[in-house]
Structure 1
Amino acid sequence: MLLAALGRSFYARGWALGTSGNFSAVVSRDPFRIAITSTGLDKGSLTPDQLVQVDANGTVTEGSGQASAETALHLVVVRAREAGAVLHTHSIWSTIISELHAAQGGIWIEGYEMLKGLQGVKSHTHREWLPIVENDQDMARLAGVVDRTLTQHPEAHGFLLQGHGLYTWGGDLGQAKRHLEILEFLLEVIGRTR
């Protein structure tokens, strides 16, 4: 499956080292099922059999692994954005930027040609707000905060978890991958220049 190949690719780029990161894609809307990476796996050697399918409650319906602890966040994003795929990485730059700008609740990104790679963005003059959400080990509570954040910022293409990493999504896996590449690029540019 493409999710496993993407996981290995993100590992190679330094965005999902060791067991960090998790990736999901909608398999079916009725009945609702998403494929998601199992917890605790090295993304550099991720294989398709290490994915599980979960239902709308996050219960594993297919596969032998345990779904990522952050499954609830994927489910919130899929529902709130009608996303076909959700990608979460732990890059150095997303982690640093999430700490540096946490007090502002997010960061404005503007003036970069790469912004045009985000769905619906037509010009480098676009202002993209990337919210930063305080991390929490209580996934139900964190899912509620993420849901409210997505409601408050309907134009956002992603968000940062403070001290943790980037979440982004797309209508399908290709679009989600493109959004991830664009946002990771922009976060590195910001980190190196500001």
Structure 2
Amino acid sequence: MLCPDLEQATAAIIAVGRAFDARNWAPATSGNYSIRLADGRVAITVSGRHKGRLTSDDVMTVDLDGRALDGKKPSAETALHAMLYRRFPEVGSVLHSHSPASVGMTRALRGATGWTVAGHELMKAWPGVGTHDHAVTLPIVDNSQDMAVIAAAIDPLLVAAGDPPAYFIRGHGLYGWGRDIAEAERVVEATEWLIEAERAERAFRSMA
């Protein structure tokens, strides 16, 4: 169900910002978070604000093309949120984390267009995954200062991967989404954990 009003959405965004900051997923002013409102607007973090110290003034509204509706300045990456809302009518929230693990992993996988994970119980935190006996590929797209370039590059990768609930921008971080902000947070948290688990497994294998 879509968030009924801006006040509720703002409170949820502030809470996620504090949680992500505590996990080192939102250093400096990185990351951005949004919620689709029941009236069709999107509540999203204002450009350049520290996500661990958000207030109600740090959340603004845009339309589904990413245009500001209240005179505040949206992040350039608002276009990536808007693209996902237009593409997936059921999506109610988009969250962008910026963890060292996701940035480092995508930089290490130079040239790769996806990261495939299989066999993990925690994959069931992703929507539509009901068993560990499964493989999911999350797309990786190269970074750009032009959001239209990223949006155009990621769309066919999402189709090819079967529309997973997340993707990476190389050297930039993770985008995850869900039917509401709670589901989007589960997607991001599970994905970040899976990166760490895969890294730990490789470290233990090197010791064997």
**How far 1:48 sits from its partner (Å)?**
2.3
Find the partner of 2:134 among 104, 126, 130.
126
Query: Any residues of structure 2 matched to 1:10-89 within 5 Å, and which?
Result: 10-28=20-38, 32-62=40-70, 64-82=71-89, 83-89=91-97
Larger Rg: 2
Query: Structure 2: which amino acid aligns with 1:20?
Result: S
**How far 1:68 sits from its partner (Å)?**
1.2
What is the TM-score of this pair, normalised by structure 1? 0.93
The residue matched to 2:176 in structure 1 has which SS?
A: strand
Name the structure 1 match of 2:5: none
Question: 2-side partners of 1:164 and 1:192: how far apart?
Answer: 22
1:139-162 deviation line (CA, Å, top 9, x unaligned): 122222222322332331211100
Question: Greater share of strand residues, 1 or 2?
Answer: 1
**How far 1:188 sits from its partner (Å)?**
1.3
What is the TM-score of this pair, normalised by structure 2? 0.87
Residue ranges of structure 2 left out of the alignment (5+ in a row) = 1-10, 203-208
**How far 1:77 sits from its partner (Å)?**
1.2
The residue matched to 1:86 in structure 2 has which SS?
A: strand
Find the partner of 2:120 among 101, 112, 122.
112
The residue matched to 2:27 in structure 1 has which SS?
A: coil
Query: Structure 1: which amino acid aligns with 2:13?
Result: L
What fraction of aligned residue pairs are identical, expressed as a percent? 40
Give the paired residue count: 191
Q: Aligned-residue CA RMSD in angstroms?
A: 1.4
Find the partner of 2:149 among 132, 141, 144.
141
CA contact (8 A) 1:24 1:87 kept: yes
Residue ranges of structure 1 left out of the alignment (5+ in a row) = none
**How far 1:23 sits from its partner (Å)?**
0.4
